[in-house]
Structure 1
Amino acid sequence: MRTTEHNINTLVMIKSIYQSLTKAEQKAADFVLANADETIYSSVTLLAEKARVGETSIIRFCRKLGFKGFQDFKLSIAQDLVNPTEQVHGQIQETDSIETICKKITSHNVSALNDTTNLLSKKELMKATEALINARKIYFFGLGSSGITATDAKYRFMRLGFNADCATDAHIMAMNASLVNKEDVVVGISSSGSTKDLVESVKVAKDNGAHIIALTNHAKSPVTLLGDTVLVAASKETPFHGGAFASKIAQIHVLDLLSTTIGMHNKELSFHAIEKTAKAVVDKLF
Protein backbone atom coordinates (compact mmCIF):
# COMPACT_ATOMS: atom_id res chain seq x y z
CA MET A 1 0.00 0.00 0.00
CA ARG A 2 1.20 3.45 -0.88
CA THR A 3 2.03 5.91 1.88
CA THR A 4 1.54 8.99 -0.32
CA GLU A 5 -1.72 10.29 -1.75
CA HIS A 6 -3.48 7.72 -3.94
CA ASN A 7 -4.33 10.15 -6.77
CA ILE A 8 -0.74 11.12 -7.58
CA ASN A 9 0.37 9.67 -10.93
CA THR A 10 3.35 7.40 -10.31
CA LEU A 11 5.00 8.06 -13.67
CA VAL A 12 4.81 11.81 -12.99
CA MET A 13 6.28 11.30 -9.51
CA ILE A 14 9.21 9.35 -10.98
CA LYS A 15 10.07 12.33 -13.20
CA SER A 16 9.75 14.70 -10.26
CA ILE A 17 12.20 12.87 -7.98
CA TYR A 18 14.50 11.64 -10.78
CA GLN A 19 17.43 13.96 -9.95
CA SER A 20 17.49 12.73 -6.34
CA LEU A 21 17.81 9.05 -7.31
CA THR A 22 21.06 7.10 -7.29
CA LYS A 23 22.56 6.09 -10.65
CA ALA A 24 21.19 2.57 -10.26
CA GLU A 25 17.75 3.88 -9.34
CA GLN A 26 17.83 6.24 -12.33
CA LYS A 27 18.51 3.25 -14.59
CA ALA A 28 15.44 1.57 -13.11
CA ALA A 29 13.44 4.78 -13.59
CA ASP A 30 14.59 5.09 -17.21
CA PHE A 31 13.40 1.58 -17.96
CA VAL A 32 10.04 2.01 -16.23
CA LEU A 33 9.33 5.35 -17.95
CA ALA A 34 10.18 3.88 -21.36
CA ASN A 35 8.47 0.54 -20.75
CA ALA A 36 5.56 1.09 -18.37
CA ASP A 37 3.41 -1.58 -20.05
CA GLU A 38 6.19 -4.15 -19.75
CA THR A 39 6.92 -3.21 -16.12
CA ILE A 40 3.50 -4.28 -14.82
CA TYR A 41 4.07 -7.82 -16.12
CA SER A 42 7.61 -8.16 -14.73
CA SER A 43 8.79 -9.73 -11.51
CA VAL A 44 11.28 -7.81 -9.41
CA THR A 45 14.02 -10.16 -10.66
CA LEU A 46 13.05 -9.70 -14.30
CA LEU A 47 12.79 -5.91 -13.99
CA ALA A 48 16.21 -5.78 -12.31
CA GLU A 49 17.65 -7.84 -15.15
CA LYS A 50 16.08 -5.67 -17.85
CA ALA A 51 17.17 -2.43 -16.16
CA ARG A 52 20.62 -3.95 -15.49
CA VAL A 53 20.58 -3.20 -11.78
CA GLY A 54 20.32 -5.25 -8.60
CA GLU A 55 17.01 -6.30 -7.06
CA THR A 56 17.75 -4.21 -3.96
CA SER A 57 17.97 -1.10 -6.20
CA ILE A 58 14.48 -1.85 -7.50
CA ILE A 59 13.12 -2.18 -3.97
CA ARG A 60 14.81 1.04 -2.83
CA PHE A 61 13.43 2.77 -5.91
CA CYS A 62 9.88 1.67 -5.05
CA ARG A 63 10.25 2.82 -1.44
CA LYS A 64 11.53 6.24 -2.47
CA LEU A 65 8.28 6.63 -4.40
CA GLY A 66 6.33 5.90 -1.22
CA PHE A 67 5.45 2.23 -1.79
CA LYS A 68 5.90 -0.57 0.74
CA GLY A 69 6.91 -3.03 -1.94
CA PHE A 70 7.24 -3.91 -5.61
CA GLN A 71 3.71 -5.28 -6.01
CA ASP A 72 2.14 -2.03 -4.77
CA PHE A 73 4.34 -0.14 -7.20
CA LYS A 74 3.20 -2.32 -10.13
CA LEU A 75 -0.46 -1.93 -9.17
CA SER A 76 -0.12 1.86 -9.15
CA ILE A 77 1.58 1.83 -12.56
CA ALA A 78 -1.27 -0.32 -13.91
CA GLN A 79 -3.82 2.16 -12.55
CA ASP A 80 -1.94 5.04 -14.17
CA LEU A 81 -2.04 3.31 -17.55
CA VAL A 82 -5.84 3.02 -17.40
CA ASN A 83 -6.06 6.83 -17.50
CA PRO A 84 -2.71 7.95 -18.93
CA THR A 85 -1.62 11.56 -18.65
CA GLU A 86 -1.41 13.75 -21.75
CA GLN A 87 1.79 13.01 -23.62
CA VAL A 88 3.92 15.44 -25.59
CA HIS A 89 3.62 14.66 -29.29
CA GLY A 90 7.33 14.25 -29.96
CA GLN A 91 10.33 16.51 -29.62
CA ILE A 92 10.64 19.60 -31.78
CA GLN A 93 12.62 18.96 -34.95
CA GLU A 94 14.41 21.43 -37.23
CA THR A 95 12.13 20.35 -40.08
CA ASP A 96 8.91 21.10 -38.15
CA SER A 97 6.62 23.77 -39.53
CA ILE A 98 5.47 26.73 -37.42
CA GLU A 99 2.08 25.05 -37.07
CA THR A 100 3.66 21.81 -35.84
CA ILE A 101 5.90 23.66 -33.38
CA CYS A 102 2.89 25.53 -31.98
CA LYS A 103 0.99 22.27 -31.53
CA LYS A 104 3.94 20.49 -29.88
CA ILE A 105 4.70 23.33 -27.45
CA THR A 106 1.01 23.68 -26.57
CA SER A 107 0.78 19.95 -25.96
CA HIS A 108 3.96 20.14 -23.88
CA ASN A 109 2.57 22.93 -21.69
CA VAL A 110 -0.87 21.35 -21.32
CA SER A 111 0.87 18.14 -20.27
CA ALA A 112 2.85 20.08 -17.63
CA LEU A 113 -0.41 21.49 -16.23
CA ASN A 114 -2.11 18.10 -16.19
CA ASP A 115 0.90 16.48 -14.55
CA THR A 116 1.01 19.25 -11.94
CA THR A 117 -2.64 18.64 -11.07
CA ASN A 118 -1.90 14.92 -10.65
CA LEU A 119 1.27 15.57 -8.68
CA LEU A 120 0.00 18.32 -6.37
CA SER A 121 -1.02 17.17 -2.90
CA LYS A 122 -4.46 18.59 -2.11
CA LYS A 123 -3.70 18.15 1.60
CA GLU A 124 -0.57 20.30 1.26
CA LEU A 125 -2.53 22.86 -0.76
CA MET A 126 -5.02 23.25 2.08
CA LYS A 127 -2.20 23.52 4.64
CA ALA A 128 -0.64 26.29 2.57
CA THR A 129 -4.01 28.04 2.26
CA GLU A 130 -4.55 28.07 6.02
CA ALA A 131 -1.01 29.23 6.74
CA LEU A 132 -1.22 32.12 4.27
CA ILE A 133 -4.67 33.29 5.45
CA ASN A 134 -3.38 33.49 9.04
CA ALA A 135 -0.02 35.08 8.23
CA ARG A 136 0.98 38.47 9.59
CA LYS A 137 3.18 38.94 6.54
CA ILE A 138 3.99 36.81 3.49
CA TYR A 139 7.44 36.78 1.89
CA PHE A 140 8.04 35.25 -1.53
CA PHE A 141 11.68 34.28 -2.08
CA GLY A 142 13.10 33.44 -5.51
CA LEU A 143 16.29 33.95 -7.50
CA GLY A 144 16.81 34.19 -11.25
CA SER A 145 13.79 33.00 -13.19
CA SER A 146 12.09 31.97 -9.94
CA GLY A 147 12.53 35.56 -8.77
CA ILE A 148 10.18 36.66 -11.55
CA THR A 149 7.65 34.09 -10.31
CA ALA A 150 8.07 35.44 -6.76
CA THR A 151 7.37 38.97 -8.01
CA ASP A 152 4.22 37.78 -9.78
CA ALA A 153 3.10 36.03 -6.60
CA LYS A 154 3.66 39.17 -4.49
CA TYR A 155 1.59 41.23 -6.92
CA ARG A 156 -1.27 38.73 -6.89
CA PHE A 157 -1.42 38.37 -3.11
CA MET A 158 -1.10 42.12 -2.57
CA ARG A 159 -4.18 42.60 -4.76
CA LEU A 160 -6.01 40.06 -2.57
CA GLY A 161 -5.37 42.30 0.43
CA PHE A 162 -2.43 40.52 2.04
CA ASN A 163 0.70 42.11 3.47
CA ALA A 164 2.98 40.53 0.88
CA ASP A 165 6.54 41.21 -0.20
CA CYS A 166 9.14 39.48 -2.34
CA ALA A 167 12.92 39.19 -2.33
CA THR A 168 14.80 38.38 -5.51
CA ASP A 169 18.27 39.46 -4.38
CA ALA A 170 20.31 37.08 -2.21
CA HIS A 171 21.34 39.80 0.28
CA ILE A 172 17.83 41.23 0.67
CA MET A 173 16.52 37.69 1.02
CA ALA A 174 18.99 36.92 3.80
CA MET A 175 18.08 40.12 5.67
CA ASN A 176 14.35 39.48 5.37
CA ALA A 177 14.85 35.94 6.61
CA SER A 178 16.67 37.24 9.70
CA LEU A 179 13.67 39.42 10.65
CA VAL A 180 10.74 37.00 10.29
CA ASN A 181 8.98 35.29 13.20
CA LYS A 182 6.38 32.60 13.87
CA GLU A 183 3.56 34.85 12.61
CA ASP A 184 5.08 35.07 9.14
CA VAL A 185 5.04 32.76 6.11
CA VAL A 186 7.95 32.41 3.71
CA VAL A 187 7.31 30.89 0.29
CA GLY A 188 10.59 29.60 -1.15
CA ILE A 189 10.30 29.24 -4.94
CA SER A 190 12.95 27.25 -6.77
CA SER A 191 12.51 25.10 -9.86
CA SER A 192 15.51 22.92 -8.94
CA GLY A 193 14.90 23.19 -5.20
CA SER A 194 18.68 23.35 -4.85
CA THR A 195 19.56 27.04 -5.25
CA LYS A 196 22.13 27.56 -2.49
CA ASP A 197 21.34 31.18 -1.52
CA LEU A 198 17.61 30.52 -1.44
CA VAL A 199 17.91 27.32 0.61
CA GLU A 200 20.19 29.05 3.13
CA SER A 201 17.76 31.98 3.56
CA VAL A 202 14.80 29.63 3.90
CA LYS A 203 16.69 27.77 6.63
CA VAL A 204 17.31 31.01 8.53
CA ALA A 205 13.61 31.89 8.24
CA LYS A 206 12.63 28.44 9.50
CA ASP A 207 15.02 28.73 12.44
CA ASN A 208 13.28 32.02 13.29
CA GLY A 209 9.92 30.26 13.46
CA ALA A 210 8.33 31.22 10.12
CA HIS A 211 6.06 28.74 8.38
CA ILE A 212 7.88 27.59 5.25
CA ILE A 213 6.08 26.78 2.00
CA ALA A 214 8.38 25.18 -0.57
CA LEU A 215 7.29 25.54 -4.20
CA THR A 216 9.51 23.52 -6.51
CA ASN A 217 9.55 21.26 -9.54
CA HIS A 218 11.56 18.56 -7.77
CA ALA A 219 9.86 16.61 -4.98
CA LYS A 220 13.13 15.43 -3.45
CA SER A 221 15.36 18.49 -3.15
CA PRO A 222 17.03 20.52 -0.36
CA VAL A 223 14.26 23.13 -0.11
CA THR A 224 11.59 20.45 0.43
CA LEU A 225 13.46 19.21 3.50
CA LEU A 226 12.86 22.64 5.08
CA GLY A 227 9.24 22.99 4.04
CA ASP A 228 6.44 22.81 6.59
CA THR A 229 4.31 22.61 3.46
CA VAL A 230 5.54 21.35 0.09
CA LEU A 231 3.89 22.18 -3.24
CA VAL A 232 5.32 20.32 -6.23
CA ALA A 233 4.83 21.48 -9.80
CA ALA A 234 5.62 19.17 -12.71
CA SER A 235 8.92 19.46 -14.52
CA LYS A 236 8.60 18.92 -18.28
CA GLU A 237 12.03 19.25 -19.84
CA THR A 238 13.18 18.18 -23.29
CA PRO A 239 16.68 18.72 -24.75
CA PHE A 240 15.46 21.14 -27.45
CA HIS A 241 12.74 23.00 -25.58
CA GLY A 242 14.73 23.45 -22.37
CA GLY A 243 11.61 23.30 -20.21
CA ALA A 244 12.10 26.68 -18.52
CA PHE A 245 8.76 28.08 -19.60
CA ALA A 246 6.86 24.83 -18.99
CA SER A 247 8.27 24.60 -15.47
CA LYS A 248 7.38 28.25 -14.83
CA ILE A 249 3.87 27.76 -16.23
CA ALA A 250 3.46 24.83 -13.82
CA GLN A 251 4.61 27.00 -10.88
CA ILE A 252 2.26 29.84 -11.87
CA HIS A 253 -0.54 27.27 -12.12
CA VAL A 254 0.08 26.20 -8.51
CA LEU A 255 0.09 29.84 -7.36
CA ASP A 256 -3.13 30.43 -9.29
CA LEU A 257 -4.77 27.46 -7.56
CA LEU A 258 -3.48 28.68 -4.20
CA SER A 259 -4.54 32.32 -4.59
CA THR A 260 -7.97 31.36 -5.97
CA THR A 261 -8.57 28.95 -3.08
CA ILE A 262 -7.55 31.66 -0.61
CA GLY A 263 -9.76 34.22 -2.35
CA MET A 264 -12.76 31.89 -2.03
CA HIS A 265 -12.07 31.32 1.67
CA ASN A 266 -11.53 35.03 2.31
CA LYS A 267 -14.19 36.52 0.04
CA GLU A 268 -14.93 39.78 1.85
CA LEU A 269 -11.31 40.87 2.28
CA SER A 270 -10.37 39.76 -1.23
CA PHE A 271 -13.32 41.50 -2.92
CA HIS A 272 -12.67 44.84 -1.21
CA ALA A 273 -8.93 44.65 -1.84
CA ILE A 274 -9.36 43.85 -5.54
CA GLU A 275 -11.89 46.68 -5.86
CA LYS A 276 -9.61 49.19 -4.11
CA THR A 277 -6.51 48.26 -6.09
CA ALA A 278 -8.46 48.37 -9.35
CA LYS A 279 -9.71 51.88 -8.54
CA ALA A 280 -6.18 52.95 -7.59
CA VAL A 281 -4.95 52.42 -11.14
CA VAL A 282 -8.08 53.21 -13.13
CA ASP A 283 -6.78 56.64 -14.18
CA LYS A 284 -3.56 55.06 -15.44
CA LEU A 285 -5.42 53.53 -18.39
CA PHE A 286 -6.47 55.23 -21.63
Structure 2
Amino acid sequence: MSKREGVKAGSSTLLILSSMYKSLTKTEQKIADIIKQEPDTVVYSTLTDLSEKARTGDTSVLRLCRKLGFSGFQEFKLTLAQELVTTSRNVHSEIEEGDNLTTIAQKITLENKMFLENTFDLLDMKELQKAIDAIGKANKIYFFGVGSSANTAADAKHRFMRLGFNTELVTDSHVMAMSAMLMEKQDVVFAVSTTGSTKDIVDAVRLAKSNGAYFICLTSHAKSPVTQYADAVLLSCSKESPLQGGAFKSKITQIHVLDIMTTAVALQNKEKAYRAIERTSKGIIDKLY
Protein backbone atom coordinates (compact mmCIF):
# COMPACT_ATOMS: atom_id res chain seq x y z
CA MET A 1 0.00 0.00 0.00
CA SER A 2 1.41 3.39 -0.95
CA LYS A 3 1.25 5.94 1.83
CA ARG A 4 0.21 9.53 1.32
CA GLU A 5 3.05 11.87 0.45
CA GLY A 6 3.40 14.87 2.72
CA VAL A 7 1.00 13.36 5.25
CA LYS A 8 2.13 11.83 8.52
CA ALA A 9 1.81 8.06 8.58
CA GLY A 10 -1.23 7.25 10.70
CA SER A 11 -2.93 10.58 10.13
CA SER A 12 -6.69 10.40 10.09
CA THR A 13 -8.12 10.45 6.58
CA LEU A 14 -11.13 12.44 7.81
CA LEU A 15 -8.84 15.03 9.40
CA ILE A 16 -6.81 15.40 6.21
CA LEU A 17 -10.03 15.67 4.20
CA SER A 18 -11.24 18.49 6.47
CA SER A 19 -7.88 20.23 6.21
CA MET A 20 -7.97 20.14 2.39
CA TYR A 21 -11.70 20.86 2.07
CA LYS A 22 -11.54 24.52 1.04
CA SER A 23 -9.09 23.75 -1.77
CA LEU A 24 -11.36 21.10 -3.33
CA THR A 25 -13.63 21.76 -6.29
CA LYS A 26 -17.37 22.05 -5.65
CA THR A 27 -17.86 18.55 -7.06
CA GLU A 28 -15.14 17.13 -4.79
CA GLN A 29 -16.65 18.93 -1.82
CA LYS A 30 -19.97 17.17 -2.46
CA ILE A 31 -18.17 13.82 -2.27
CA ALA A 32 -16.20 14.93 0.78
CA ASP A 33 -19.42 15.96 2.57
CA ILE A 34 -20.81 12.44 2.21
CA ILE A 35 -17.56 10.84 3.37
CA LYS A 36 -17.43 13.06 6.46
CA GLN A 37 -21.11 12.61 7.28
CA GLU A 38 -21.36 8.86 6.63
CA PRO A 39 -17.87 7.31 6.88
CA ASP A 40 -19.26 3.98 8.15
CA THR A 41 -21.50 3.69 5.10
CA VAL A 42 -18.78 4.73 2.65
CA VAL A 43 -16.47 1.85 3.63
CA TYR A 44 -19.17 -0.59 2.45
CA SER A 45 -19.95 1.35 -0.74
CA THR A 46 -18.68 0.76 -4.25
CA LEU A 47 -17.12 3.53 -6.31
CA THR A 48 -20.38 3.84 -8.24
CA ASP A 49 -22.45 3.88 -5.03
CA LEU A 50 -20.55 6.90 -3.75
CA SER A 51 -20.52 8.74 -7.07
CA GLU A 52 -24.27 8.24 -7.51
CA LYS A 53 -25.00 9.40 -3.97
CA ALA A 54 -22.94 12.54 -4.56
CA ARG A 55 -24.44 12.92 -8.04
CA THR A 56 -21.00 13.03 -9.62
CA GLY A 57 -18.99 10.81 -11.93
CA ASP A 58 -16.70 7.95 -10.92
CA THR A 59 -13.67 9.92 -12.12
CA SER A 60 -14.45 12.71 -9.62
CA VAL A 61 -14.31 10.22 -6.74
CA LEU A 62 -11.02 8.82 -8.04
CA ARG A 63 -9.61 12.31 -8.42
CA LEU A 64 -10.47 13.09 -4.79
CA CYS A 65 -8.86 9.86 -3.58
CA ARG A 66 -5.67 10.72 -5.45
CA LYS A 67 -5.66 14.24 -4.01
CA LEU A 68 -5.71 12.60 -0.61
CA GLY A 69 -2.67 10.58 -1.66
CA PHE A 70 -4.27 7.21 -2.37
CA SER A 71 -3.75 5.17 -5.52
CA GLY A 72 -7.49 4.56 -5.87
CA PHE A 73 -10.84 4.12 -4.16
CA GLN A 74 -10.08 0.67 -2.73
CA GLU A 75 -6.95 1.85 -0.92
CA PHE A 76 -8.88 4.84 0.39
CA LYS A 77 -11.69 2.59 1.70
CA LEU A 78 -9.29 0.15 3.34
CA THR A 79 -7.46 2.92 5.18
CA LEU A 80 -10.70 4.58 6.26
CA ALA A 81 -12.08 1.26 7.53
CA GLN A 82 -8.92 0.62 9.58
CA GLU A 83 -9.12 4.08 11.11
CA LEU A 84 -12.78 3.66 12.04
CA VAL A 85 -11.97 0.41 13.82
CA THR A 86 -8.87 1.59 15.69
CA THR A 87 -9.82 5.19 16.47
CA SER A 88 -11.92 6.03 19.48
CA ARG A 89 -14.55 8.37 18.12
CA ASN A 90 -15.40 10.72 20.95
CA VAL A 91 -18.52 12.78 20.43
CA HIS A 92 -18.69 15.82 22.69
CA SER A 93 -21.98 17.55 23.31
CA GLU A 94 -22.45 21.16 22.37
CA ILE A 95 -22.62 23.60 25.26
CA GLU A 96 -26.26 24.27 26.09
CA GLU A 97 -27.91 27.23 27.75
CA GLY A 98 -28.86 25.21 30.83
CA ASP A 99 -25.37 23.80 31.48
CA ASN A 100 -23.84 24.68 34.84
CA LEU A 101 -20.28 25.99 35.13
CA THR A 102 -18.79 22.56 35.88
CA THR A 103 -20.44 21.02 32.82
CA ILE A 104 -19.26 23.88 30.61
CA ALA A 105 -15.70 23.47 31.89
CA GLN A 106 -15.79 19.69 31.34
CA LYS A 107 -17.11 19.98 27.78
CA ILE A 108 -14.54 22.59 26.78
CA THR A 109 -11.72 20.57 28.38
CA LEU A 110 -12.74 17.41 26.50
CA GLU A 111 -13.06 19.28 23.22
CA ASN A 112 -9.66 20.97 23.64
CA LYS A 113 -8.12 17.58 24.42
CA MET A 114 -9.64 16.19 21.22
CA PHE A 115 -8.26 19.12 19.19
CA LEU A 116 -4.77 18.56 20.62
CA GLU A 117 -4.92 14.86 19.75
CA ASN A 118 -6.11 15.69 16.25
CA THR A 119 -3.26 18.17 15.86
CA PHE A 120 -0.78 15.42 16.71
CA ASP A 121 -2.41 13.25 14.03
CA LEU A 122 -2.07 16.05 11.47
CA LEU A 123 1.52 16.99 12.33
CA ASP A 124 3.95 15.51 9.80
CA MET A 125 7.25 14.73 11.55
CA LYS A 126 9.23 15.02 8.31
CA GLU A 127 7.89 18.53 7.76
CA LEU A 128 8.56 19.39 11.40
CA GLN A 129 12.14 18.14 11.17
CA LYS A 130 12.74 20.22 8.03
CA ALA A 131 11.54 23.30 9.90
CA ILE A 132 13.72 22.50 12.94
CA ASP A 133 16.82 22.05 10.76
CA ALA A 134 16.19 25.31 8.88
CA ILE A 135 15.74 27.29 12.08
CA GLY A 136 18.92 25.84 13.54
CA LYS A 137 20.92 27.19 10.57
CA ALA A 138 19.07 30.51 10.19
CA ASN A 139 20.87 33.83 10.20
CA LYS A 140 17.63 35.55 11.20
CA ILE A 141 14.04 34.37 11.76
CA TYR A 142 11.15 36.65 10.81
CA PHE A 143 7.76 35.86 12.39
CA PHE A 144 4.79 37.05 10.35
CA GLY A 145 1.18 37.22 11.54
CA VAL A 146 -1.80 39.55 11.27
CA GLY A 147 -4.91 39.87 13.39
CA SER A 148 -5.26 37.11 15.97
CA SER A 149 -2.43 35.12 14.37
CA ALA A 150 -0.07 37.98 15.26
CA ASN A 151 -0.43 36.95 18.91
CA THR A 152 0.77 33.44 18.12
CA ALA A 153 3.63 34.83 16.03
CA ALA A 154 4.60 37.06 18.98
CA ASP A 155 4.70 34.05 21.32
CA ALA A 156 6.92 32.22 18.83
CA LYS A 157 9.27 35.20 18.46
CA HIS A 158 9.60 35.54 22.24
CA ARG A 159 10.36 31.85 22.76
CA PHE A 160 12.96 31.60 19.99
CA MET A 161 14.61 34.81 21.16
CA ARG A 162 15.08 33.25 24.61
CA LEU A 163 16.71 30.26 22.91
CA GLY A 164 19.35 32.58 21.49
CA PHE A 165 18.09 33.10 17.92
CA ASN A 166 18.09 36.39 16.03
CA THR A 167 14.37 37.07 15.67
CA GLU A 168 12.01 39.78 14.46
CA LEU A 169 8.22 40.03 14.75
CA VAL A 170 6.39 41.71 11.85
CA THR A 171 2.63 42.33 11.98
CA ASP A 172 2.26 45.36 9.70
CA SER A 173 1.61 44.50 6.04
CA HIS A 174 3.85 47.30 4.69
CA VAL A 175 6.74 46.34 6.97
CA MET A 176 6.21 42.69 5.96
CA ALA A 177 6.64 43.57 2.30
CA MET A 178 9.76 45.65 2.97
CA SER A 179 11.27 42.99 5.25
CA ALA A 180 10.60 40.32 2.63
CA MET A 181 12.48 42.32 0.01
CA LEU A 182 15.52 42.58 2.30
CA MET A 183 15.68 38.87 3.16
CA GLU A 184 18.54 36.65 2.06
CA LYS A 185 19.08 32.91 1.57
CA GLN A 186 20.22 32.39 5.15
CA ASP A 187 16.99 33.88 6.54
CA VAL A 188 13.85 32.03 7.60
CA VAL A 189 10.34 33.43 7.54
CA PHE A 190 7.82 31.74 9.83
CA ALA A 191 4.23 32.74 9.06
CA VAL A 192 1.18 31.95 11.19
CA SER A 193 -2.16 31.95 9.37
CA THR A 194 -5.05 29.78 10.56
CA THR A 195 -6.87 29.98 7.23
CA GLY A 196 -3.73 30.14 5.10
CA SER A 197 -5.57 32.65 2.93
CA THR A 198 -4.57 36.00 4.45
CA LYS A 199 -3.56 38.10 1.46
CA ASP A 200 -0.99 40.23 3.34
CA ILE A 201 0.83 37.07 4.44
CA VAL A 202 0.67 35.36 1.03
CA ASP A 203 1.96 38.46 -0.79
CA ALA A 204 4.83 38.92 1.67
CA VAL A 205 6.03 35.31 1.65
CA ARG A 206 5.97 35.29 -2.15
CA LEU A 207 8.43 38.20 -2.07
CA ALA A 208 10.54 36.47 0.58
CA LYS A 209 10.74 33.30 -1.51
CA SER A 210 11.84 35.31 -4.53
CA ASN A 211 14.85 36.40 -2.46
CA GLY A 212 15.71 32.83 -1.47
CA ALA A 213 14.41 32.84 2.12
CA TYR A 214 13.29 29.54 3.66
CA PHE A 215 9.56 29.60 4.42
CA ILE A 216 7.75 27.73 7.21
CA CYS A 217 4.00 28.11 7.62
CA LEU A 218 1.75 27.15 10.53
CA THR A 219 -1.80 26.77 9.29
CA SER A 220 -4.93 24.64 9.58
CA HIS A 221 -5.53 24.17 5.86
CA ALA A 222 -3.20 21.83 3.99
CA LYS A 223 -3.89 23.19 0.50
CA SER A 224 -4.41 26.87 1.23
CA PRO A 225 -2.78 29.64 -0.88
CA VAL A 226 0.09 30.18 1.57
CA THR A 227 1.20 26.53 1.47
CA GLN A 228 2.13 26.70 -2.24
CA TYR A 229 5.18 28.77 -1.25
CA ALA A 230 6.12 26.78 1.86
CA ASP A 231 9.29 24.73 2.28
CA ALA A 232 7.75 23.18 5.40
CA VAL A 233 4.05 23.01 6.31
CA LEU A 234 3.00 22.55 9.94
CA LEU A 235 -0.68 21.74 10.41
CA SER A 236 -2.77 22.34 13.51
CA CYS A 237 -6.39 21.35 14.02
CA SER A 238 -8.88 24.19 13.90
CA LYS A 239 -12.61 24.60 13.63
CA GLU A 240 -13.60 28.19 12.96
CA SER A 241 -16.57 29.61 11.14
CA PRO A 242 -16.26 33.08 9.55
CA LEU A 243 -17.86 34.43 12.75
CA GLN A 244 -15.33 32.69 15.01
CA GLY A 245 -12.02 34.14 13.83
CA GLY A 246 -9.37 33.93 16.53
CA ALA A 247 -11.09 31.11 18.41
CA PHE A 248 -9.13 29.95 21.46
CA LYS A 249 -9.07 26.36 20.15
CA SER A 250 -6.98 27.52 17.19
CA LYS A 251 -4.56 29.30 19.50
CA ILE A 252 -4.25 26.30 21.82
CA THR A 253 -3.36 23.94 18.98
CA GLN A 254 -0.93 26.44 17.41
CA ILE A 255 0.85 26.96 20.73
CA HIS A 256 0.98 23.19 21.14
CA VAL A 257 2.83 22.86 17.81
CA LEU A 258 5.19 25.67 18.83
CA ASP A 259 5.83 23.98 22.18
CA ILE A 260 6.84 20.76 20.42
CA MET A 261 8.95 22.64 17.90
CA THR A 262 10.83 24.92 20.32
CA THR A 263 11.58 22.02 22.64
CA ALA A 264 13.01 20.00 19.74
CA VAL A 265 15.02 23.01 18.48
CA ALA A 266 16.46 23.56 21.96
CA LEU A 267 17.52 19.92 22.22
CA GLN A 268 19.05 19.94 18.72
CA ASN A 269 20.96 23.18 19.50
CA LYS A 270 21.58 22.40 23.14
CA GLU A 271 24.68 24.45 23.93
CA LYS A 272 23.42 27.60 22.21
CA ALA A 273 19.92 27.30 23.70
CA TYR A 274 20.95 26.56 27.28
CA ARG A 275 23.52 29.37 27.25
CA ALA A 276 20.89 31.83 25.97
CA ILE A 277 18.26 30.67 28.48
CA GLU A 278 20.74 31.24 31.32
CA ARG A 279 21.75 34.68 30.06
CA THR A 280 18.18 35.90 29.38
CA SER A 281 17.08 34.64 32.80
CA LYS A 282 19.83 36.67 34.45
CA GLY A 283 18.75 39.69 32.42
CA ILE A 284 15.28 39.76 33.97
CA ILE A 285 16.07 38.49 37.46
CA ASP A 286 15.87 41.96 38.99
CA LYS A 287 12.43 42.46 37.40
CA LEU A 288 10.93 39.92 39.81
CA TYR A 289 10.29 40.12 43.56
TM range (shorter): over 0.9
> Does the CA-based 8 Å contact 2:143-2:189 persist in structure 1?
yes
Opposite residue 248 of structure 1, the aligned amino acid is K
Alignment match, 1:149 = 152
Q: Which amino acid aligns with 2:16?
A: M
* Mapped partners of 1:111, 1:51: distance in 2: 29
Aligned length: 286
- The answer on 1:213 being equivalent to 2:184 is no
Q: Indicate the residue corresponding to 2:61 in structure 1.
A: 58
CA distance in 2, matches of 1:239, 1:216: 16
**Residue 86 and residue 184 in structure 1: after superposition, are their counterparts in 2 closer, same or farther (change >3 A)?**
farther
2: distance between equivalents of 1:186 and 1:241?
Answer: 27
Paired residue for 2:172, among 169, 194, 198? 169
- Number of the residue aligned with 1:244: 247
Runs of 4+ in 1 over 6 A off after TM superposition: 238-243
CA-to-aligned-CA distance 1:235-281 (integer Å, 9 cap, x gap): 23479977721112111111111111011111111111111111111
CA RMSD of aligned residues (A): 1.7
Distance 1:225 1:237, change over 3 A: same
Structure 1 position 179 matched with structure 2 position 190: no
Q: Distance in 2 between matches of 1:143 and 1:128?
A: 21
Residue in 1 that maps onto 2:46: 43
How far apart are residue 48 of structure 1 and its match? Answer: 1.7
Amino acid at match of 1:204: L
- Against the structure 1 CA distance between its residues 182 and 88, is the aligned structure 2 distance closer, same or farther, given a 3 Å change threshold? farther
Corresponding position: 1:130 with 2:133: yes
Q: How does 1:1-286 map to 2 (within 5 A)?
A: 1-4=2-5, 5-84=8-87, 87-237=90-240, 244-286=247-289
Deviation string 1:209-242 (CA, Å, 9 cap, x unpaired) is: 0001111110010110000111111123479977
Q: Percent identity?
A: 53
Determine helix, strand or coil for the equivalent of 1:7: coil
Indicate if the aligned counterparts of 1:182 and 1:208 stay in contact, CA closer than 8 A: yes
1:173 counterpart SS class: helix
Q: Which runs of 5+ in 1 are unaligned?
A: none
After superposition, the C-alpha distances for 1:160-190 in whole angstroms (9 at most, x for unaligned) are: 0100111011111111111110000001110
Query: Quick check: 1:18–1:29 contact (8 Å CA) kept in 2?
Result: yes
Matched letter for residue 113 of structure 2: V
- TM-score w.r.t. the length of structure 2 is 0.94
SS in 2 for 1:19: helix
Query: Do the aligned partners of 1:135 and 1:183 also contact (CA within 8 Å) in 2?
Result: yes
CA distance in 2, matches of 1:275, 1:9: 40
Contact 2:42 2:50 in 1 (8 A): yes
1:77, distance to aligned residue in structure 2 (A): 0.6
Check conservation: 1:140, 1:186, Cα contact below 8 A.
yes
**Bigger shift: residues 132-141 or 37-46:** 37-46
Q: TM-score, normalised by structure 1?
A: 0.95
> Is the Cα contact below 8 Å between 1:128 and 1:213 reproduced in 2?
yes
**In 2: Cα distance, 1:258 partner to 1:12 partner:** 21
Change (3 A) 1:74 1:21: same
- Higher mean C-alpha deviation, range 74-83 or range 94-103: 94-103
CA positional deviation for 1:76: 1.2
Cα distance change, pair 212–241 in 1 and its aligned pair in 2 (3 A): closer
